[in-house]
Structure 1
Amino acid sequence: MSWIDIPADSPFGPDNLPLGVFRLGDEEPRVGAAIGDQIIDLAPVASAQMLDGSQLFAQPSLNDFLALGRPAWRATRGWLLELVRNTNDRDTVEPHLIPQSAVTMQLPFEVADYVDFYASEQHATNLGRLFRPDSEPLLPNWKHLPVGYHGRAGTVVPSGTDIVRPSGQRKAPDAAAPTYGPSQRLDIEVELGYVVGAPSQLGRPVSVDEFEEHVYGVVLVNDWSARDLQAWEYVPLGPFLGKSFATSISPWVVSLEALSPAAVPLPPQDPPVLPYLSGNNLNNYDITFQVFLNGHLVSSPPYRDIYWSPAQMLAHLTVNGASVRTGDLYASGTISGPDQTQRGSFIELTWGGRDPLVIDGKEHTFLQDGDQVTITATATTPTGTPLGLGEVTGTIISG
């Protein structure tokens, strides 16, 4: 319960309180917490209560706060919960509530590195069937390690940023040579991103059981993909220009503590994983995504059956001694379920363009200029209370 008036359908109830960075008019960007359809401007509230570290909330990114680590994150969440529940704090907080409609949301943190995994067995199977129709859909390594690639941190952009159609080499299956031009098979990838706060030491792997000591929370990710560029370039070294032009993330970072009631056991892994991928922290989350194309719901991918857990992804990312830094982002890869209405990319939804979606009598395969894609997600808790992760939106414009 909260003394703040919260709309019944709000994704941001009093148990959520995600953090983000907002700009009000010409003022400097700073940190706020979402509650209902409002934002708590945290810097003046923390200053009024003489909170240690109040200056961290006056910063234009979350990085300094994220670097503090788990004890500070836990203490801050406890403070936020008290602010919205205790009527004694109303006189302090209420003057610093700002409508979300009045602000412009910013990139919530400075991205240090970006790694994208391939953790959905259903998605990997679908793409294997599309890209390698005469071979086994899953390559021999897929169930032994979380497959991933290193992305481009400098092209991670906040929700609402227009996406310029990329150009590059593409080769039609029946063509003798590649051509150059704008991508004709522009796609989305519905993903969940994990935000690293506390850094690790170079040369020291992070174990599965240390996941929560390093990862603060999650964001929604749309890893835009040029499938024609990708298909021509990805052998033998994997994704490059077909992925690196833009990755959109949602503005609100939901903490692992807020998300914890939605934790569910990891599905069985067969064959058994190697010891460094074993541990006590092998949970997934019961999250349902929704994908809207120009306002029309086209898919609802479920996250709970993802094959590799976020703790295993982090352990594999660092097992060779690679360190993680404050602001690192790693994502799940495309989330897809077994049903056609649960696929997290248009290459799957239309089976490579063979089976177009029909919306208002018009066929859709890959993205056209002017198309807008919005991805939302809601976690389900045992009490049935929905916990929203916000949304990430982008509109395609001509290059």
Structure 2
Amino acid sequence: MASTWVPDVSPDTPFSLANIPFGIVSSSADPAPHAAIAIGIHVLDLKALSSHATFHDVFPALKNHPGIFSKPTLNEFAALGRPVHREIRKTIQDLLSSETSRPEALKDNAELREKALLSQRNVKMHLPMNIGDYTDFYAGFHHAYSVGALFRGPQKALQPNYTHLPVGYHGRASSIVVSGTPIKRPVGQIIIDPTAEPKQPTTAPSRRLDIELELGCFISTPNEMGSSIKVTDAEDHIFGYVILNDWSARDIQTWEYIPLGPFNGKNFATTISPWVVLADALDPFRTKCLDNWTPLQPYLNENKKESIFDIELQVDLITPQGDATTISTTSSKYLMWSFPQMIAHHSLGGCPMRTGDILGTGTISGPTPNEKGSLLELSEGGKKDVMLYGMDVRRFLKDGDTVVMRGICGKPGEKVGFGDCVGRILAATPVQ
């Protein structure tokens, strides 16, 4: 990968020239949300870039899409499909390369650089997509096994269907927020005394507020209702990826989930990282799914052996006092099901996937104690303290706690990352 002429691009930045993630920003100079990409500590304002007279000569694929980077979301760009995304990303890489073939387009144009190359500190990040639907899967094998073992014992940890299909449920898209948005502790029905019979719930703030470390996938191009997406074609329907924290109120979830699954225990908030890493940027980091010992139905059989990614994932917990502790380090390689398999299964019955829909992997955990992607696992169901810096402890989240999730892959100078996925817990609204 060539170097960039953009100043102050550290070898350790997750926004190297090898990345070029897309997001939606606003600034004091232009408060209307619009498209940008991240490079080092800067953003390249694509709306400002597209205002230049030579823009359509540099980006011929966008000639019939005027103002596409002035939109408040990336949906219209995503809907153009992966070949266009690939061409635009490569062109931006060329414009930002030290050896660019078009220096006059940006590198040597001081006036345009002044307008288009901004500090990340001077922009506000917004939700990158207009999200119509959200589906959360359960593809993390080690999480599924360890949580199942907590409640059903090791012999019955996995449900009989787990290795036959990617288990999922429909989540709530309206409560998906961009990194940095505060998260209010939810209120719901909970059981105070689990030993009492009959069970008697009370309505109160959740006492077992948790995190779920996930990878999210945005859909680019749709399928028609009544049709399905082949697993071998599913890659063409993927726009890009984000880090996703599906906040979970375990006590609300425990009481409500039988027989239809999660509801208020999940629908109050989901946080995503601000930058969408395009599918092509993660191609070098492909790896094989965890072995599945069950023969699959033909529609789930992939031709590719390497259909998931080896992304280094990290979760930090920052207390109200400002003390930070890394509570988990794991990898996205610990998935049994790939996104193409999730898409193929999701659309099998004719469900129409739409541009901007997001799929979550479910919690990603590894096999060792320090690789767990939820406090439910780290605390062994709330029975064990998770040690924090300064002799503080947690079993679940307290008001004022901040959770920071990160994902990164690649070597220095060529790192690919998503930006921080951050949420701070606020006190619940008093029960009326």
1:66 shift after superposition: 0.9
Q: What does the per-residue CA deviation read over 1:257-288, in whole Å, with 9 as the maximum and x for residues that have no partner?
A: 01100111223221121100012245110111
Name the CA shift for 1:179/1:47 in 2 (closer, same or farther; >3 Å).
same
Contact 2:11–2:414 (8 Å) recurs in 1: no
Correspondence for 1:232? 255
Give the aligned residue type for 1:339.
T
CA RMSD of aligned residues (A): 1.5
Q: Quick one: which of 299, 312, 320 aligns to 1:288? A: 312
Q: What pairs with 1:191-210 in structure 2 (closer than 5 Å)?
A: 191-210=214-233
Q: TM-score, normalised by structure 1?
A: 0.96
Unpaired runs of 5+ residues, structure 2, are: 57-62, 319-323
Once residues 375 and 153 of structure 1 are traced to their aligned partners in structure 2, the CA distance between those partners, rounded to angstroms, is 20
**Does structure 1 residue 177 correspond to structure 2 residue 177?**
no
Cα distance in 1 for partners of 2:371, 2:216 equals: 19
1:377 is paired with a residue whose SS is strand
Matched, 1:75 2:80: no
- Give the equivalent residue in structure 2 for 1:24: 27
User: Paired residue for 1:263?
Assistant: 286
Which has more radius of gyration? 2
Change (3 A) 1:134 1:339: closer
Cα separation, 2, equivalents of 1:384 and 1:39? 17
Structure 1 letter corresponding to 2:48: P
**Amino acid paired to 2:108:** D
Contact between 1:43 and 1:54, CA under 8 Å: does it hold in 2? no
Aligned partner of 1:127 among 122, 147, 155: 147
Q: What one-letter code is carried by the residue in structure 1 that aligns with 2:185?
A: R
Establish whether residue 46 from structure 1 lines up as the match of residue 58 from structure 2: no
Rounded to whole Å, the distance in 2 between the matches of 1:336 and 1:261 is 22
Aligned to 1:90: 107
Please say if 1:9 is aligned against 2:32: no
Preserved CA contact (<8 Å) 1:18 1:252? yes
Distance 2:304 2:245 in 1: 26
**2:313 maps to amino acid:** F
- Provide Cα deviations, 1:122-156, integer angstroms capped at 9, x if missing partner: 00011111222386000000000000010001010
Do residues 371 (structure 1) and 393 (structure 2) align?
no
Give the TM-score normalised by the residue count of structure 2. Answer: 0.89
Name the counterpart of 2:59: none
Of 358, 364, 369 in structure 1, the residue corresponding to residue 387 of structure 2 is 358
Could you tell me whether the CA contact under 8 Å between 1:118 and 1:334 is conserved in 2? yes
Instruction: Give secondary structure in 2 for the equivalent of 1:334.
Output: coil
Summarize deviations over 1:70-90 as a string: whole Å, max 9, x none.
222122112211111114430
What is the SS of the residue equivalent to 1:130? helix
- Quickly say closer, same or farther: Cα 1:314–1:281, change in 2 above 3 A: farther
Partner of 1:145: 165
Displacement of 1:47 in angstroms is 3.0
Runs of 4 or more, structure 1, over 6 Å off, are none
* Structure 2 residue 358 is matched with structure 1 residue 329: yes
Give me the identity figure in percent.
Answer: 41
What is the CA-CA distance between 1:174 and the residue it aligns to? 1.1
Q: Residue 386 of structure 1: which of 385, 393, 415 is its match?
A: 415
Q: Which moved more, 1:120-129 or 1:87-96?
A: 87-96
Number of aligned positions between the proteins: 398
- Secondary structure of 2:36's match? strand
Structure 1 residue 119, shift from structure 2 partner: 0.3
Q: What per-residue deviation string (whole Å, max 9, x for no partner) do you get for residues 221-245 of structure 1?
A: 0000000011111111111110001
